[in-house]
Amino acid sequence: MRPVIPYVVAALLFGLGVYGVLRRRNAVLVLMSVELMLNAVNLLLVTANTAPLATATGRAVPAPVAPQPSPAAETAAALPFTGQAFTLFVIVIAAAEVGVGLAIVLQLFRLRGTVVVDDVRLDGHTPDTGPQAIVAAPPVAPAPDGPTTRGAGT
């Protein structure tokens, strides 16, 4: 098994993801490109689990000079499926990310009527008045000194 093949595939997929994030204007397509990047990292982790750099025969790995192995080396030798475990973790994080990201995209579409990320003006946003009470609050007297018409924005 030649590990350079999946490594190069992972690198190219990551480059495609970067290109897609920079090129696409639609927020859903940007999320798809982010998924491409996450998958490239997953592929990299799984390949590194199979073929770590120490096993590559092209390069001589310097022999450990310490007579007894360090505890770190023992720990590394005792965990055989670290890359695959991290891949599972990354998949879970990607699922959480896409859930929250799509909620944000849908809310953006509901507020602005578009998901084109170029049209989102970050400085043109009217500030939110914060969370408001859902239950019917007793009518408060208008603030005596405020010229605001928005009734004591709690």
C-beta of 80 vs 144, nearer to other proteins:
80
Among positions 58, 67, 138, 139, the unique one binding other proteins when judged by CB under 8 A: 58
Q: Are 32 and 5 in contact (CB under 8 A)?
A: no
Q: Is position 41 an interface residue for other proteins (rule: CB under 8 A)?
A: no
Cα gap 90→81, rounded to integer Å: 14
Q: Is position 13 an interface residue for other proteins (rule: CB under 8 A)?
A: yes
Cα gap 85→87, rounded to integer Å: 5
The distance of closest approach from Cβ of residue 145 to other proteins in the complex, given in angstroms and rounded to an integer, is 27
C-beta of 19 vs 142, nearer to other proteins:
19
The H or E element spanning position 16 is helix 4-23
In DSSP terms, 26 is beta-bridged to 116
Q: For residues 67-126, which are near other proteins according to CB under 8 A?
A: 78-82, 84-85, 87-89, 91-100, 102-107, 109, 111, 115-116, 118
